[in-house]
Amino acid sequence: MKTLREYIKEADEKGVAIGHFNISNLEALHGIYNAAKKLNLPIIIGLSEGEEDFVGREEAVALVRAIRERDNYPIFLNADHHYSFESMKAALDAGYDAAIIDAVKLPLEENIVLTKKCVDYARELGKIQNRDILIEAEIGFIGTSSKILDKLPEGVSEATMTTPEDAKHFVEQTGIDLLAPSVGNVHGMVRGGNPRLHPERVKVIREVTGIPLVLHGGSGSINEDFVACIKEGIDIVHINTEIRIAYRDAVKKALINNPEEVAPYKILKGAVIAIEQVVESRLKLFNGIK
């Protein structure tokens, strides 16, 4: 099986993007995997620090690894938004394929120092264990919460978008494999509509850095913006809030329609289907499938 790095390179050459979807339970994992397998596309499963605490770090590795080995399927595990060297190290030591060190709250040069430490550790661990581990970092600001928002988070604006100059400097100083820029995207979904994305900014950042770019905060963005940004250099797109909403609504419907039901596997079947439908729709969009 090809490595995640090879699948990203392949997506870039084809002008498509790999879908990255977060989980905090089995229903999400099954829904995401069902959609990916149906379309025969590689998939990335992400767990933030909070999601990881709930699922279990080693448990998440075991779940994804079991599917990958059983079905010989390109499903990969990413430590999404880990905020310290220690949490990133623990995830990689447990067997995650990739990790995002999120130090955007630090001044740029401090972010560089922490990110470089993570990159160096991943390289060292990769050599020892013969693994190709990817490290991603984020610069610019896109907020922090994957939830429904009444308004844009304070600090998210064109003024805090990633500049090509900062992106180039950051990549050169850290040696990261993937960069998550701020290009109009925002974590969560804003009532009334998310801001528009800036594919022209994506293009310039990709040109000056020369590495694959990742779009965080994809939930709620319009289809045309996704397509335009993928065309200009986005190789991975993160979706979380959309599947959280699909899960919540499906569970709520099941409980209302069957108030006497007590078997979780019966209550939660609809949630798996709802998540699968969202993921399938997004994967088709990211890969130009009608």
Query: Is-catalytic flag, 12?
Result: no
Q: Any bridge partners for residue 179, and if so which?
A: 137, 213
List, as one string, the DSSP characters of the chain: ---HHHHHHHHHHHT--EEEEE-SSHHHHHHHHHHHHHHT--EEEEE-HHHHHHH-HHHHHHHHHHHHHHHT--EEEEEEEE-SHHHHHHHHHHT-SEEEE--TTS-HHHHHHHHHHHHHHHHHHHHHHT---EEEEEES---S--SEESSPPTT-SGGGSPPHHHHHHHHHHH--SEEEE-SS--SSEETT-PPPP-HHHHHHHHHHH-S-EEE---TT--HHHHHHHHHHTEEEEEE-HHHHHHHHHHHHHHHHH-TT---HHHHSHHHHHHHHHHHHHHHHHHTT--
Q: Looking at 80, 97, 102, 177, which residue is catalytic?
A: 80
Q: What are phi and psi of 17, to 5 degrees?
A: -135, 150
List the catalytic residues: 80
